[in-house]
């Protein structure tokens, strides 16, 4: 079934599309653009995933800090509870209470749990005396100085050397602490102070800290309004915190590749930094030069204060496999693109190769056709010339036969006999032509026998024979007597020399000086060169090649057929030899025939 024209057209379009080199390049560019796009998307996806992961870790951290602070608040509430449950809380009771909470074990980071009593100026002395009486003879509210209201740290457990530094300290005298105390007093809720340096700090390993306060009101008094709360305030259950101790261990296992900075403010700045998880002096937040690639800022409100947590990823945060994903996409993509390019290119190359082979075959075919046309022309020319050459003697004899016929009718036999000679000559010429043509067709036949020929015998006999013919004519024939052997067919080789000699005798005449024909030879490396020279009219240069063609004649005597030299050349070539001539017009002609030496011929055969 024939394919539909539409289908084959479509197929052709598709085929040529894939066979063009420009297609390969276009597809390469297009696929590279796609790869770049894929890389871009992959890169963004990875980036987004990493950012999201950091964000969730940030939320985890916020939750952890909040949970801790709530737990501490609960501890302080239980301290309040202790005061509310008893009429009076003694130092020992407080000590036992705090010991039971086991803060070291359950509430890491908490510095202690204390109680600070509000002391009006008129009761200051009495208060100091009471505490001194408990066995602390040097007890004084500190710092010294007259103020309109005092607070005094009465209990602070565990009562170790560090906490003893805070014993009797008036936190109300210091603005940051006082602000938190007043807030706790007025709201009735837990309040966290701003960033302070605790009085417990020595010179070593100084850390920032803060305090968490819960207000203690007089039992049974109303605390519904700020005024009522202020009126019934007794003191504060509180906890001091050293920030490093509090934060240590707050990052969970597996969070080693992130870090954070904690600020005691809604708007982070070096002045409000509370904690830097990195033990370096540098803060990354807000520093353009140090800005981490992945970061997150969270706010928390604890105890009435807003803290900012700046969490960021350290270099190891994103795994190398994660980071290499976009690169894998890019490199894999480029690899596929280039492969595709070369495949299409090789298709188009192969097509070109096929085309050039086809072109070669076509031009070869054209050459053959031309050759065929040429030989066809030659054949036509040949047939034309042969028929022409045959026709003229035929016409001649036909004409004379007619005349003879007329003469015979009239009884003029003498005249008729005369004309008959003309018919005989014309017929001889036709016969010669036919003979020559037959000879030409025979000369190259491969089944001819070849053997080593003694040229002294072959040419010697020819010369002897011709010498007889030449007697009385003004022609001298000189035959050399030392010819080398050649390998060939005797009658064909004889024909070569016969033709050349008869031509020399026919056309090489020199009536002035007398004709002189000589035959000789010369042995060369691989061939034997024979020559036959005359001192006749010579042959013009332009005919030196032509003369070996069929029907080429230089004189118009009508004697020759113009086939002899064609036969001679064919015979020479049949023996693997070559023939050429040297001549100057008016100075004679020399024909050369070169045959391969016997050894050379036997190598070939």
For ligand ADP, the binding residues (CB under 6 A) are: 503-504, 507-508, 534, 536-537, 539, 547, 552-555, 560-565, 589
Q: Are 592 and 530 in contact (CB under 8 A)?
A: yes
Q: Name which of 119 and 566 has its Cβ closer to ligand ADP.
A: 566
* Residue 548 CB, nearest approach to ligand ADP (Å): 8
Nearest approach, Cβ of residue 586 and ligand ADP (Å): 11
CB of residue 576 to ligand ADP, shortest distance in Å:
22
Tell me the Cα Rg of the chain: 66
Q: Which helix (DSSP H) or strand (DSSP E) does residue 280 occupy?
A: none
- Of the pair 131, 539, the CB lying nearest ligand ADP is at 539
Whether 233 contacts 214, CB under 8 Å? no
Q: Which is nearer to ligand ADP, 127 or 569 (CB)?
A: 569
Q: Which of 247/504 has CB closer to ligand ADP?
A: 504
Q: 377 vs 555, which CB is nearer to ligand ADP?
A: 555
Q: State the chain's maximal CA–CA distance in angstroms.
A: 200
The CA dihedral of 569, 575, 578, 583, to the nearest 10 degrees, is -50
Q: Are 147 and 178 in contact (CB under 8 A)?
A: no
Q: Counting beta carbons within 10 angstroms of the beta carbon of residue 32, is it exposed (0 to 12), middle (13 to 18) or buried (19 or more)?
A: middle
CB of 584 to ligand ADP, least distance (A): 11
Give me the least distance between CB of 552 and ligand ADP, in Å please.
5
Residue 303, Cβ neighbours under 10 Å: how many?
22
Nearer to ligand ADP, 73 or 582 (CB): 582
Please return the burial class of 501, using the count of CB atoms within 10 Å of its CB with bins 0-12, 13-18 and 19+.
buried
- The DSSP-derived string for 130-172 is HHHHTT-TT---BS-S--S-EEEEEEEES--HHHHTTTTB-GG
CB of 508 to ligand ADP, least distance (A): 4
**Of 345, 293, 356, nearest in space to 19 by CA:** 345
d(CA 569, CA 563): 10
Least distance in angstroms from the C-beta of 567 to ligand ADP:
8
Nearer to ligand ADP, 207 or 552 (CB): 552
Q: Residue 423 CB, nearest distance to ligand ADP (Å)?
A: 22
CA 75 to chain centre: 70
Q: Are 385 and 550 in contact (CB under 8 A)?
A: yes
Length of the chain: 605
CB of 482 to ligand ADP, least distance (A): 24
| CB closer to ligand ADP out of 173 and 552 | 552
Chain position whose Cβ is nearest to ligand ADP: 560
| Residue closest to 517 by CA, chosen among 531, 528, 499 | 531
Tokens of 175: 């603005």
Residue listed under structure tokens 């706010």: 299
The CB-of-520 to ligand ADP minimum distance in angstroms stands at: 16
Q: What share of the chain is helix, strand, coil (3-state, %, to 5)?
A: 55, 20, 30
Residue among 163 and 568 whose Cβ is closer to ligand ADP: 568
Question: What minimum distance in Å lies between the beta carbon of 492 and ligand ADP?
Answer: 16
In angstroms, rounded to a whole number, what is the distance separating the alpha carbons of residues 547 and 550? 8
246 Cβ contact list (under 8 Å, min separation 6): 68, 108, 109, 110
> Shortest approach of ligand ADP to residue 504 CB, angstroms?
5
Minimum CB separation of residue 566 from ligand ADP in Å reads: 6
Nearest to 190 by CA among 210, 213, 211, 218: 213
List of E strands, 455-558: 475-479, 486-488, 515-523, 527-533
As given in the structure block, the two tokens for residue 536 are 């006749």
Q: How many whole angstroms separate alpha carbon 595 and alpha carbon 522?
A: 11
Nearer to ligand ADP, 29 or 554 (CB): 554
**Closer residue to ligand ADP in complex, CB, 333/560:** 560
Pick between residue 114 and residue 560 the one whose CB is nearest to ligand ADP: 560
* Nearer to ligand ADP among residue 240 and residue 508 (C-beta): 508
Beta carbon nearer to ligand ADP, 97 or 543: 543
Classified as helix, coil or strand, 47 is helix
313 membership: H or E segment, kind and range: strand 305-313
Least distance to ligand ADP, CB of residue 371, Å: 25
* Segment holding 579, helix H or strand E: strand 578-583
CA distance 307 to 268: 9
């Amino acid at each position: 079934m024939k394919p539909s024209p539409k289908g084959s057209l479509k197929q052709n379009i598709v085929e040529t599309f894939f066979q063009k080199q420009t297609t390969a390049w276009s597809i390469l560019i297009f696929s590279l653009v796609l790869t770049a796009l894929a890389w871009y998307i992959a890169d963004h996806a990875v980036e987004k995933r990493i950012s999201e992961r950091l964000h969730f870790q940030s939320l985890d951290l916020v939750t952890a800090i909040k949970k801790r602070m709530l737990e501490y608040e609960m501890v302080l509430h239980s301290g309040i509870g202790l005061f509310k449950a008893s009429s009076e809380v003694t130092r020992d009771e407080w000590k036992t209470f705090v010991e039971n909470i086991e803060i070291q074990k359950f509430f890491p980071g908490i510095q202690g749990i204390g109680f600070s009593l509000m002391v009006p100026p008129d009761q200051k002395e009495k208060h100091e005396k009471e505490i001194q009486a408990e066995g602390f003879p040097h007890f004084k509210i500190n710092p010294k100085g007259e103020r309109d209201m005092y607070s005094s740290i009465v209990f602070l457990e565990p009562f170790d050397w560090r906490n003893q530094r805070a014993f009797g300290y008036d936190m109300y005298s210091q603005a940051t602490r006082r602000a938190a105390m007043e807030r706790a007093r007025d709201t009735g809720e837990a309040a966290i102070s701003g960033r302070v340096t605790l009085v417990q700090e020595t010179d070593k390993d100084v850390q920032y800290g803060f305090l968490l306060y819960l207000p203690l009101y007089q039992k049974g008094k109303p605390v519904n309004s700020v005024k009522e709360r202020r009126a019934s305030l007794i003191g504060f259950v509180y906890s001091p915190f050293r920030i490093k101790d509090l934060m240590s261990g707050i990052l969970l296992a597996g969070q080693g590749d992130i870090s954070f900075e904690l600020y005691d403010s809604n708007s982070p700045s070096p002045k409000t930094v509370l904690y830097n998880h990195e033990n370096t002096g540098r803060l990354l937040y807000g520093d353009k030069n140090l800005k981490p690639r992945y970061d997150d800022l969270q706010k928390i409100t604890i105890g009435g204060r807003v803290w900012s947590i700046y969490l960021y990823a350290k270099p190891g945060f994103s795994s190398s496999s994660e980071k290499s994903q976009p690169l894998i996409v890019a490199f894999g993509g480029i690899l596929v693109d280039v492969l595709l390019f070369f495949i299409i290119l090789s298709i188009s190359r192969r097509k070109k190769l096929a085309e050039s082979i086809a072109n070669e075959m076509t031009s070869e075919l054209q050459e053959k056709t031309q050759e065929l046309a040429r030989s066809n022309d030659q054949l036509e020319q040949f047939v034309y010339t042969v028929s022409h050459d045959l026709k003229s003697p035929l016409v001649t004899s036909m004409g004379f036969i007619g005349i003879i016929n007329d003469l015979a009718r009239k009884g003029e036999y003498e005249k008729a006999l005369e004309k008959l000679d003309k018919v005989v000559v014309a017929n001889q010429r036709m016969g010669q032509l036919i003979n020559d043509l037959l000879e030409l067709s025979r000369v190259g036949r491969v089944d001819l026998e070849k053997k080593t020929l003694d040229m002294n015998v072959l040419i010697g006999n020819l010369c002897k024979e011709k010498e007889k013919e030449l007697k009385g004519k003004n022609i001298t024939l000189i035959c050399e007597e030392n010819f080398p052997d050649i390998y060939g067919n005797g009658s064909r080789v004889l024909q070569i020399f016969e033709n050349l000699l008869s031509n020399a005798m026919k056309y090489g005449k020199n009536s002035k000086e007398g004709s002189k024909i000589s035959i000789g030879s010369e042995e060369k490396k691989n061939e034997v060169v024979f020559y036959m020279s005359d001192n006749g009219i010579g042959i013009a240069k332009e005919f030196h090649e032509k003369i070996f063609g069929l029907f080429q004649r230089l004189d118009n005597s009508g004697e020759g057929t113009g086939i002899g030299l064609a036969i001679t050349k064919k015979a020479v070539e049949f023996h693997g030899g070559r023939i050429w001539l040297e001549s100057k017009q008016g100075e004679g002609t020399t024909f050369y025939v070169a045959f391969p030496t016997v050894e050379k011929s036997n190598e070939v055969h």
